[in-house]
Every structure is written in structure tokens, then in C-alpha cells.
Amino acid sequence: MVQKRIFNLVAAIDQNHGIGKNNDIPWEIPEDMKYFNTLTKLGLKVPDYPQSNSITKPSMNVCIMGRKTWISIPERVRPLKDRFNIVISSKTDFIDFENPKNKYVKTVPSIQEALNLVDTINNSENGIHINSIFVVGGQRIYEEAINHAHVRIFITHIQNPNSHECTVFFPKFLHIENLKKMDFDHLASLLPFKIDPGVLISKTNYKYEFTLYQNF
């Protein structure tokens, strides 16, 4: 059976679709950071690439990101732990591959190469199995990945009306053919952990809402 390759885009966006400024995120919402980490670590209740019953390799999810997003992650939490990190770049010299902490980090020059790498990992008998693919930014990577045939878009909408003066943006996506905003119950049913519905208030006073859009 040919498996559907699904990209799960994950982003927190403000009311202008802003996602970042000065290679950083211009808001602090610890509850959303926790959501991002739990979602990308634990993945989905039913993985997009289920492992066949005959093979049981240790499994994890992949996070695909652009070089600038990689650099924007504080060094103490980089690479993203318990996830396979694939960094898209024309360069390779910005990561110390000799350092054992980077065992599950690879650089590739394109998203297509990232997909090929996931296939290679999953087809090898040793090593690990990739359950699902999360695309975690930034702007260029989202712009390319959003046109993939099968996408889920996990958006945290930040509701505060003040401008964050972002310089990088998430693409406008509502025009995508067949893309639907899913109801909260559908989002909750995909996740192996609990989240709250509706507009929530962070302990840092930001208003935010977890949502899901999907085109299949």
C-alpha cells in the first residue's frame, strides 16, 4: 500500500499571521510552548506512518525546520529533544555532528530531500521509525510545505489585538482547496493528551486558541 505522506504544520500566529521578529518569537506563551513540545514529541494518537506489526523499532516524530528557525531555538533546548530534527539549508557547517547530542539531527537542501530521508529511515531495518512529520517553520518552509497534497495545520491563534511588528509571516491559507477548519472535538480526538477548547488566557495574559485546519 502506498502511504499518504502528510505534513503536519505547527505554528503560533498573531492576527496578521505574524510568526516572528528579529529571529525570535515576539510573545511568550508558556502554555503554547508546552502544547508545541507535547504535540511534536507524543505525536498523534494514530501515527501517519504506522509501523508494521512485524517490525518494532523505537519510534519518534520528525520536526522539519529552516536553518533560521534552528538557530532561533535556544542552545540549551537544541536539538528538540526526543524528536528527529531535520534542518533545511544549503549549508552543513553550522551543526557539530561530532557532538553526540546531535545524533538525531540531519541537514538536507530541500523539503523533498527531507521526505526522502524519512523514507530511508523508515525503510531501514535498524535504527528508528518515524511516526509523523511536523513542519515547524519558519516562513519559507511553511510557504513550501503548505502546498503539499495532504496537510494538517495546527494553528495557535493569538488573539491580542496589539501589533507584534512581525517581519516573518505564516502564509494566508484559507484559499487552499478543500481546506476546512475542523471542530475542536476532531482536534482533541487526534491527540493523545488533553487540551482545553475555546479562547484561553495565558499566565502571561495573552489570549490564544488551539485550532486545526485540514485538506483531506
Ligand X SMILES: NC(=O)c1ccc[n+]([C@@H]2O[C@H](COP(=O)([O-])OP(=O)(O)OC[C@H]3O[C@@H](n4cnc5c(N)ncnc54)[C@H](OP(=O)(O)O)[C@@H]3O)[C@@H](O)[C@H]2O)c1
Separation between Cα atoms, residue 86 and residue 78, nearest integer Å: 12
Separation between Cα atoms, residue 161 and residue 110, nearest integer Å: 36
Q: Which residues pair with 60 in a beta bridge?
A: 130
By CB under 6 A, tell whether 110 contacts ligand X.
yes
CB-nearer residue toward ligand X: 11 or 153:
11
Coil, helix or strand for 54? coil
Q: Please select the residue that binds ligand X; options are 138, 154, 171, 191, rule is CB under 6 A.
A: 138
**C-alpha cell at position 57:** 523499532
Whether 130 contacts 47, CB under 8 Å: no
Q: What is the DSSP string of 90-140?
A: S--TTS-TTSGGGTTEEEESSHHHHHHHHHHHHHSSSS-EEEEEEE---HH
Interface region with ligand X, contact rule CB under 6 A, candidates 109-117, 118-126, 171-179, 195-203 = 109-117
Q: Please select the residue that binds ligand X; options are 91, 101, 150, 180, rule is CB under 6 A.
A: 91
Least distance to ligand X from the beta carbon of 40, Å? 11
Separation between Cα atoms, residue 134 and residue 147, nearest integer Å: 15
By CB under 6 A, tell whether 136 contacts ligand X.
yes
Q: Please select the residue that binds ligand X; options are 5, 41, 57, 68, rule is CB under 6 A.
A: 68
Q: Please select the residue that binds ligand X; options are 6, 9, 11, 130, rule is CB under 6 A.
A: 11
CB-nearer residue toward ligand X: 115 or 129:
115
Other residues' Cβ atoms within 10 Å of the Cβ of residue 200: 17
By CB under 6 A, tell whether 75 contacts ligand X.
no
Other residues' Cβ atoms within 10 Å of the Cβ of residue 5: 14
Interface region with ligand X, contact rule CB under 6 A, candidates 22-30, 43-51, 122-130, 191-199 = 22-30
Separation between Cα atoms, residue 207 and residue 209, nearest integer Å: 7
Interaction mask 165-184, ligand X, x per CB under 6 A: ---x----------------
Interface region with ligand X, contact rule CB under 6 A, candidates 15-23, 43-51, 74-82, 146-154 = 15-23
By CB under 6 A, tell whether 144 contacts ligand X.
yes
| Contact residues for ligand X, defined by CB under 6 A | 11-12, 19-20, 23-25, 65-69, 72, 88-91, 109-111, 136-141, 144, 168
